[in-house]
Structure 1
Amino acid sequence: MRSARMNDRNRIPTDSIIFGYGPMLPLVAAGIGAWVLPPAWGVLAVRLAIIWGALILSFIGGVRRGFGFATPRASTPVEIVAAVGYVTIAGLALLVPFVGTALALLAAGYALAALLDRRAALAGNAPAHFARLRPPQLLLGCAGLVACWAWVMTG
């Protein structure tokens, strides 16, 4: 019986795979596009990556806070700090005047969320499957943002 519960806990629901990895694909496409498209299109790809990356990071903050509302055992202070942190990083990325700084903020935010959401899942402050989903999911998005950042820094 215990192994069946462990398998259920480790199973990532199909909708989490689709709606988890799907939003990372535009970030990866932007990172590739920045390097392979003509420069004007590369600039557009990077600008769109900043907007998309910030929207998704804010959404991830909302998911964490929503889990806290719906789950009495979740630590409300932990959920609030995570949500506010993710949204703050996303907002700053939209406000800073330098593209490289915006991309660095978002990449750091995605890497931080990969680490913190995994830890939260293991502690019961996020859905259990986040322990397996979030690190590869968010590091994929982070890779796209880092590719954009590298393109900006070489230009």
Structure 2
Amino acid sequence: MNHDATRPDMPADGAILGYGPMLPLVAAGIGAWLLPAPWPFWAVHLGIIWGALILAFIAGVRRGFGFGYARASKPQEIATSIGYFTLAGLALVIGLPSMALLMLVLGYVLAALLDRRAALSGNAPRYFATLRPRQLLIGAAGLAALLGRAIGS
């Protein structure tokens, strides 16, 4: 990845590694509504696992940035990372799929907002200001489709 934290344009690997992991969430959301049984069940449960893994990864990215970039606010990076990781972990242990998906939608929307803000203040790579809202709201849309299916079942 690009190590220039002030670079405003998104590097190609940032786009690929940012948007690529959102595609399974969108596919799961579509599959949960369009595929015959038992696929909706699997789409919801695998979507929860994938969504939580990605949110935990994003927590690590934020904390890693705090380690590697001296200007980043260490307390802010730690608090943000813990928040994202906690929501991801709760999604994995909450037995009710609708509650797990609610945790993930909340985490993705928070990350979209907080990572954009962090990028503008120097606590995340500058290009996150444009990447994170788009990237994570795409993922949140897939998770919301799964949530709708889980509630409707």
TM-score range for the pair, normalised by the shorter chain length:
over 0.9
Give the structure 1 partner of residue 138 of structure 2. Answer: 140
Distance, in Å, in 1 between the alignment partners of 2:134 and 2:142 is: 13
Equivalent residue in structure 1 for 2:106, among 105, 108, 111: 108
Q: More helix by proportion, 1 or 2?
A: 1
Unmatched segments (≥5 aa) in structure 2 = 1-5
Aligned residues: 148
Q: 1:65 aligns with which of 59, 63, 83?
A: 63
Q: Are 2:8 and 1:25 aligned?
A: no
Matching residue of 2:3: none
Which of residues 113, 117, 123 in structure 2 aligns to 1:125?
123
Q: Which residue of 2 aligns with 1:149?
A: 147
Amino acid at match of 2:44: V
Q: Structure 1 residue 97: deviation in Å? A: 1.1
Q: Is the 8 A contact 2:7 2:125 kept in 1?
A: no
Could you tell me the TM-score, scaled by structure 2's length?
Answer: 0.95
* TM-score relative to the length of structure 1: 0.94
The amino acid that maps onto 1:95 is V
Which one of the candidate residues 88, 91, 96 is aligned to 2:89? 91
Between the two proteins, what is the percent identity of the paired residues? Answer: 61
CA distance in 2, matches of 1:54, 1:47: 11
Give per-residue Cα distances to partners, 1:14-65, cap 9 Å, x unaligned. Answer: 0000000000000000000000011311100110000000000000000000
The two structures, once aligned, show a CA RMSD in angstroms of 0.9
Which structure has the bigger radius of gyration? 1
